[in-house]
Amino acid sequence: MILLDRIVKSYPMGHRELVVLQGLSFEIQKGEMVAIMGPSGSGKSTTLNVLGCLDTPTSGRYLLDGRDVSRLNRRELAHVRAKKIGFVFQSYNLLPRISALDNVKLGLKYAGVRDMRLAREALARVGLADRVSHKPVELSGGEQQRVAIARALAKKPPLILADEPTGNLDSRSSADLMTILTELHSEQGNTLVMITHEPEMAQYCERIIHLMDGQVMREERIR
């Protein structure tokens, strides 16, 4: 599903260059659930942005589903994102003025999906059937993140990317969220890549990729 081949990402910093990803290579199989861990600043979010076609590498190759997406332009990247990728962020990123249901519907609309019944279905699946008309401020943090998961998964994308999805949640809500993510992952058979700082959350995954200074330090198989 994913092949990163010697990915370099650097930023110009005055006369010098800040090299954030230093020849990063790894593979993720279709249907795998993988955690990315590593110290702050090790390049986790940068990696996820590349995987999510939100950003392109300075050099190196990224094959997504067999297609080289490392040299696409902005429009082509947006198309790949809409068709293939669901995102979950630490800060939920819901629109504050509209209901949970409308947030999920908007996600479907952006992805070019017509069937709006999928929105209510996805909210029911994350246990929010009785909260569909609540606005984000009328929901708990855990509930808001479940809306974000419903939004990411409603279009049934082959790849889900999550950047510290439990970062703002207490341990109980985190465990609930990981249970839902794990169940949905095995039901829908999508590939899931999640950044986390918490070893307990990483244990829900099948494999952990440990990053250090923009490189893979080691890989750990959980099951």
Using CB under 6 A as the criterion, which residues of the chain lie in contact with ligand ATP when the complex forms? 11, 18, 20, 38, 40-46
Gyration radius of the chain over CA positions:
17
CB of 45 vs Mg ion, minimal distance in Å? 3
CB of 209 to Mg ion, least distance (A): 14
Cβ proximity to ligand ATP: between 43 and 60 the closer is 43
Question: CA torsion sign, 25 to 84 to 165 to 95?
Answer: positive
**Dihedral in degrees, nearest 10, Cα atoms 74, 43, 178, 209:** 110
Shortest distance, CB of residue 164 to ligand ATP, whole angstroms? Answer: 7
Smaller CB separation from Mg ion, 45 or 190 = 45
Question: Which CB sits closer to ligand ATP, 20 or 169?
Answer: 20
Rounded to a whole number of angstroms, the minimum distance from the CB of residue 129 to Mg ion is 33
Residue 11: contacted member of Mg ion, ligand ATP, none (CB under 5 to 8 Å, by partner type): ligand ATP
Handedness of CA 198, 21, 93, 127 (dihedral sign): negative
Query: Judged by CB, which is closer to ligand ATP: 99, or 174?
Result: 174
Q: With CB cut-offs between 5 and 8 Å by kind, which of Mg ion, ligand ATP, none does residue 42 bind?
A: ligand ATP
| Rounded least distance, CB 18 to ligand ATP, Å | 5
Task: Look at residue 217 and give the partner it binds from Mg ion, ligand ATP, none, a contact being a CB closer than 5 to 8 Å depending on partner kind.
Answer: none
The residues of the shown chain that bind Mg ion, judged by CB under 5 A, are 44-45
Contacts of 131 (CB under 8 A, 6+ apart): 100, 123, 139, 143
* 148, 89 Cβ separation under 8 angstroms: yes
Q: What is the number of residues in the chain?
A: 223
**Partners of 159 in the β-ladder:** 85, 191
Token pair belonging to 140: 């708990």
The DSSP call for residue 166 is T
Which does residue 43 touch among ligand ATP, Mg ion, none (CB within 5 to 8 A, set by kind)?
A: ligand ATP
